[in-house]
Structure 1
Amino acid sequence: MILNDRYLIQEQIQKSSWINVYVVEDQLTSKLYIAKEVLKEANPILIHQFHVEVDVLSQLEHKHFPSIIDVFETRNSMILIETYFKGIDLGQWLLKHDKISQKLKKKWILDCIDMLQHIHEKGFLYIDLKPENLIIVDEEIYLIDFNACLEKTSHQAILASKVNMAPEFLETGYLDQTSDIYGMGGILLALYSRGPCRKLAQKCRDTLPSKRIRSMKQLKRCFLLCCRAKYILSIIICILLSVFLFSLLFRYTLATPLSKYLDTKTSSDLISAYQFTLNQAEGTYQQKVQDTLYLWIDNGWISTFVLEDEKVARFLLKQAIQSQNISWCSYILNLLNDDVKDQLIDLVLLTNVYIEQTQNIQYEHIHRFLNDLKTKTLSTSQKMENMFLILNVINECEIILKQQDLDILYKLQSNLPDQQNEILRSLANAYLSYGLIIQDEDLEFKIPSFYTELFKDDLEKLEIIQFLGG
């Protein structure tokens, strides 16, 4: 069957009483398009939505939206020809792929925010955001089905999925741009199962519009803040481990290393013996660590006895993290006794997060870590690094602090000297990210006064500070 003497129907992909959707081939260009047909005797709302989609797409030009190719009528129907994105919807894509990279998640969310912001700037609301309306083609994401769109001031009845519809419309018929924020919350929930981004999604899905993120611009800033915390943590871990391990190269002699350790099996000889085998390995530093740790584990050279030494335990746990091998992290962690774990609470917390065994993290460890941080004599940089570590642990695990522990975090920051450096900014970013997580909890979240000065040239951060009540 040929539509309008030009478009040859290749496949019917949707059929209902009043609507048909086809993949068609343009006989002039051989290109494939989507043809949407609405019968003239259809429900008046469906006819209205057909005209809405034509009107909206004619005003929206965006690389991730379909373009109108042709619009025409037959005796019985109205037909829209538009761009065909040959892919599968986001829901199907997620079912087919067990894992998705953080980079790709971030790209898709930012693309979705950009698309919705563009729609809002043109004076429309999208309304029906759901995974089925997002098409994945070669890891690019596209938005389709604009027939539920409304002008921002419109109260026109629409037909859209009630599952994805903002609850205020079902109750009052009122919609604004926070209704699309609600839809974005659903996409965030589909992509993020844990961490700050999950909490941000729940914030977007609040049943009360007044408690949601207010705009796509603000959502983008909050989302980037949530993403940044984990990225910065990885960088700082690598820096700290590199400095620590580099210093060990000069600290221990290689005179009688491995043979001496194998004879004595004492903790005092382990680090120098390990460094000896590390230096014999080839490849990048990470490859050397992986090969060396495998050699030691495979030969049974690491015993629970030597791991009773706090220094040895700290060294090998850092090596396991540096190897980026979850199995070896678990192996070393399981060899540690409870007393050593208490002494290495910072690394134990970090390792549990890394291997995603967050059920092993007990609140009392968090509480003791914060109290130790409050009472111990540490340099300013050490305090900031430790605060940054614990903030990333509680952010990743979505741990809700008690008010007294939250106050410790606030006071520790408030007592920091007035300075501008990258560690302090990283710490502040992580703290603001935690503020987003606990926004709906019955807690008083205080923001240190110096944050305003720290971020005086960063309008995004200043807006988040204001949003959190600072």
Structure 2
Amino acid sequence: MLNVNLKKDRYKILESYNSNVYRVQDELGTCIYILKVCQNYETKRYKHQFKTEIDVLSKLNSFLAPSLVTCFEDEMAQYFVETYIPGMNAKQFMKRYKGFIKRYRLLLDILIVLQALHEIGYLYIDLKLENIIYYQNRFYLIDFNACIENHSRVAIMASKSNCAPELMNLHEKDVRCDIYALGSLVHELFGFWMMPIVFLCHQKQERRISHLSTFKTMIVLHMFIHILVVLSLCILSVFLILKSTSPKNVFDAYYYHHNIALFEKAYHESDQKDRLYTWVLNGWILDDVYQNEQASIFLMKEAISTSDATLIQYVYDRVSLKKGSKLETFVMMYLKPNANRVNRCMTLANEGNMLLKDKLDIYNQCLQIAIHEEFKISLTPVRTWLESVDESQLLKYTKEFEDLGCNYLEYLLLLRNKEGEIMEVPVVFVDHLKSNRWNDIYAFWRSL
């Protein structure tokens, strides 16, 4: 365990991954980060790569990679703190996920990061599934400690499975090293289905694909061909099924005779595997179904149960349900949030007629998302609501009320840190919140 004074104990260690990498919590807030350490006794090469990773994270501008928060040192070591990306690594995820859509998603997401990395003059080198994290339906590239400068001539040994031959000698390294590793990644994801692309990625350096744009074009073309084949098979399967079934079955009565009352029954009688995806893909959900309130509720439950952001968004955009704050907040947990959606949730919560505890929960969820994603949102709905609500009613929900005060103040700290704005803390928080957590955050706020 690390035995140093982390900026006067600001960072509390939650988990040790190895002797140099830790998951930590900022004691001044609730944010979780990754802390990396370079002890003074480390080798010259290790220290060089440590500084390289700091340089990369400070320059890299990609939402699919961690960003540098701060760096500092003491008499024993150097440190830096980067944003923490939760989730599971792609190797674990791919063992569970047997479809092909997210495999293409992984490649396209990683290409975004590699393009940004190459633009700042670095090569990633050690590309493998273990260094990719799946979180909120996107794939993030982490661990930039093996990066080298583009066109450098140092000898490097990356992971054996994706090590380009020129890495082991003093020849010039360029983007083709990463393209070689991409070929290994493609082979691991798709096997023989992409052998032509793997073959072109694993050629000798002078004959290898030399541009990420070329590689991306080949992947996109392969994806479209794959989808066309799947669609063709689906169409053929549907044709054969329709041909072999009786015209008097439930599906025929629903689909061909527009008997919307039979929709749920026809849906439940269909194959359970990827059922909603299959119905959407084949256009079996009639427009009248989306206009029916009961059917809309059923479809939203089915979509949310899949945890697939694409399906949830697709159904959410089409159902005729009133888009209240509860539904907005619930759906937002599965989709990639944005500032507009968070603002909308808070406004709807302020205007809506719902239980006090529900409003507190919605405001807390919205503020936590805004803090984590560093969104700029309006706090007016919260302030307006606090001015109108009976304080004695708020005090009945001690935990939720305290969380709201702490989240509100943490967001003010974020605004002040990013834009230098000074905003007042609502009096209701100052008068009634007395917990240690609140006192620590409020004391820090007053000291600024």
TM-score, normalised via structure 2 length: 0.52
Corresponding residue SS for 2:28: coil
Structure 1 residue 3 corresponds to structure 2 residue 26? no
| Structure-1 separation of matches of 2:74 and 2:267 | 71
Q: Which amino acid aligns with 2:216?
A: K
Q: Tell me the CA shift for residue 41 of structure 1.
A: 1.7
| Structure-2 separation of matches of 1:29 and 1:11 | 18
Equivalent in 113, 138, 141 of residue 139 of structure 2: 141
Equivalent in 126, 129, 136 of residue 128 of structure 1: 126
Residue in 2 aligned with 1:52?
52
Q: Which amino acid aligns with 1:106?
A: Y
2:156 and 2:167 in contact (8 A); partners too: no
- Output one character per residue of 1:278-329: Cα deviation in whole Å (capped at 9) or x when no partner: 6995444799899899xxxxxxxxxxxxxxxxxxxxxxxxxxxx9xxxxxxx
1:281 and 1:291 in contact (8 A); partners too: no
Q: Tell me the CA shift for residue 14 of structure 1.
A: 1.1
Residue in 2 aligned with 1:105?
103
| Structure-1 separation of matches of 2:101 and 2:160 | 31
- Output one character per residue of 1:189-241: Cα deviation in whole Å (capped at 9) or x when no partner: 2211342x3432343233x1233222110001001111111222344566678
2:187 and 2:198 in contact (8 A); partners too: yes
Q: Among all aligned residue pairs of Structure 1 and Structure 2, give the percentage whose two residues are the same amino acid.
A: 31
Residue in 1 aligned with 2:200?
203
- Output one character per residue of 1:68-98: Cα deviation in whole Å (capped at 9) or x when no partner: 1110111111111111112222122233x1x
Residue in 1 aligned with 2:223?
227
| Structure-1 separation of matches of 2:270 and 2:217 | 42
Q: 1:292 to 1:278 in 2, by over 3 A?
A: farther
Aligned pairs (5 A) from 1:283-298: 283-284=254-255
| Structure-2 separation of matches of 1:231 and 1:25 | 43
1:33 and 1:84 in contact (8 A); partners too: yes
Q: 1:233 to 1:77 in 2, by over 3 A?
A: same
- Output one character per residue of 1:93-133: Cα deviation in whole Å (capped at 9) or x when no partner: 233x1x33222111111111111111112221111111111
Q: Which amino acid aligns with 2:57?
A: L
Q: Which amino acid aligns with 2:27?
A: Q
Residue in 2 aligned with 1:35?
35
* Consecutive unaligned residues in structure 1, runs of 5 or more: 249-270, 294-321, 323-470
| Structure-2 separation of matches of 1:241 and 1:27 | 58
2:153 and 2:170 in contact (8 A); partners too: no
1:11 and 1:22 in contact (8 A); partners too: yes
Residue in 1 aligned with 2:330?
none
Q: Which amino acid aligns with 1:209?
A: Q
- Output one character per residue of 1:19-45: Cα deviation in whole Å (capped at 9) or x when no partner: x11111111122111110011121100
Q: Which amino acid aligns with 1:199?
A: P
2:13 and 2:23 in contact (8 A); partners too: yes
Q: Tell me the CA shift for residue 277 of structure 1.
A: 5.2
| Structure-2 separation of matches of 1:238 and 1:21 | 47
- Output one character per residue of 1:350-376: Cα deviation in whole Å (capped at 9) or x when no partner: xxxxxxxxxxxxxxxxxxxxxxxxxxx
Q: Which amino acid aligns with 2:7?
A: N
Q: 1:4 to 1:194 in 2, by over 3 A?
A: same
Q: 1:122 to 1:170 in 2, by over 3 A?
A: same
Q: Identify which range, 132-141 or 234-243, moves more after superposition.
A: 234-243
Equivalent in 165, 176, 179 of residue 178 of structure 1: 176
Residue in 2 aligned with 1:379?
none
| Structure-1 separation of matches of 2:151 and 2:103 | 33
Residue in 2 aligned with 1:214?
210
Aligned pairs (5 A) from 1:387-466: none
Q: 1:279 to 1:178 in 2, by over 3 A?
A: same
| Structure-1 separation of matches of 2:116 and 2:26 | 30
Residue in 2 aligned with 1:86?
86
1:126 and 1:148 in contact (8 A); partners too: yes
Residue in 1 aligned with 2:22?
22
Q: 1:236 to 1:61 in 2, by over 3 A?
A: same
- Structure whose alpha-carbon radius of gyration is higher: 1
* Consecutive unaligned residues in structure 2, runs of 5 or more: 257-262, 272-281, 283-448
- Output one character per residue of 1:405-460: Cα deviation in whole Å (capped at 9) or x when no partner: xxxxxxxxxxxxxxxxxxxxxxxxxxxxxxxxxxxxxxxxxxxxxxxxxxxxxxxx
| Structure-2 separation of matches of 1:240 and 1:175 | 49
Q: 1:40 to 1:157 in 2, by over 3 A?
A: farther
| Structure-2 separation of matches of 1:37 and 1:190 | 32
2:155 and 2:170 in contact (8 A); partners too: no
Q: 1:292 to 1:102 in 2, by over 3 A?
A: closer
Equivalent in 164, 167, 175 of residue 165 of structure 2: 167
| Structure-2 separation of matches of 1:288 and 1:134 | 40
1:281 and 1:292 in contact (8 A); partners too: no
Q: 1:158 to 1:290 in 2, by over 3 A?
A: same
Q: How many residues align?
A: 261
1:3 and 1:9 in contact (8 A); partners too: no
| Structure-2 separation of matches of 1:199 and 1:136 | 27
2:155 and 2:169 in contact (8 A); partners too: no
| Structure-2 separation of matches of 1:212 and 1:48 | 29
Q: Tell me the CA shift for residue 51 of structure 1.
A: 0.7
Q: 1:245 to 1:276 in 2, by over 3 A?
A: same
Q: Which amino acid aligns with 1:131?
A: L
